[in-house]
Amino acid sequence: MKIGIVGAGNIGQALARLASTKGHAVMLSNSRGPETLAETAASIGCEAGASHDAMGFGDVVVVTIPFAKVFSVEPEPMAGKVLIDTNNYYPDRDGRIAALDERKKTTSQMVAEHFSGARVVKAFNAILAADLANPGNVPLTAGSGRRALPIAGNDVASKRIVADLHEQFGFDTVDTGGLQESWRFERAKPAYCIPLGRARLIDALGRAQRDVELPHGSWWR
């Protein structure tokens, strides 16, 4: 499969490396141009390109840039693509967004509105970049077994593609439903970035309350 990655931060690089090691063709991009990524791409074993190149390249496109910058990305090249949205809303970084502060929408619903021609799946947002870079080497917070990651999306076939990537990368999947349910594993919820097996992840997702946030930074270890 061809995977384009818009954003070459820690999450983007970790996903590029995982996908490349599993035999996928990957193009990594950033806003500064492919020449700034040559060394990084070579170390990963993937291609480097501009953001519009990565969008055109991928059958699946990962968008992993600061949330507020998502809406400056041209939406047309995403038409027909499976778009993996890894983004989270951090008001100190992104500025205040009323629709999110008032719990009227989820981040991924806003992403789906912007990229209206794409099939958006929320995934890989509820894991620390360091954990994503070392799947299988991070102990679960409690219990035993394999770590599970949550997804949400309105298109069943697209979610199957992402769940298959989870499997290839060494994770189980918990499907939370449509994009309207993706708030359950956004920032400051019980499932956010906590290493949990499938059963405990389901429990954490169920305990999430829309208007209640955990203390900022409680998910860092």
Q: Which domains occur in the chain, in start order?
A: 66-207 (3.40.50.720)
Burial 80-105 (b: 16+ CB within 10 A, else e): ebbbbbbbbbeeeebeeeeebeeeeb
pLDDT tens-digit profile, the chain (221 residues): 999 999 999 999 999 999 999 999 999 999 888 999 999 999 999 999 999 999 999 999 999 999 999 999 999 999 999 999 999 999 999 999 999 999 999 999 999 999 999 999 999 999 999 999 888 777 888 667 899 999 999 999 999 999 999 999 999 999 999 999 999 999 999 999 999 999 999 999 999 999 999 998 888 76
State how far the Cα of 197 lies from the Cα of 115, in Å rounded to an integer: 32
What would the two tokens of residue 199 be? 């059963």
Could you tell me the pTM of the whole model? 0.96
Residue 74 β-bridge partners? none
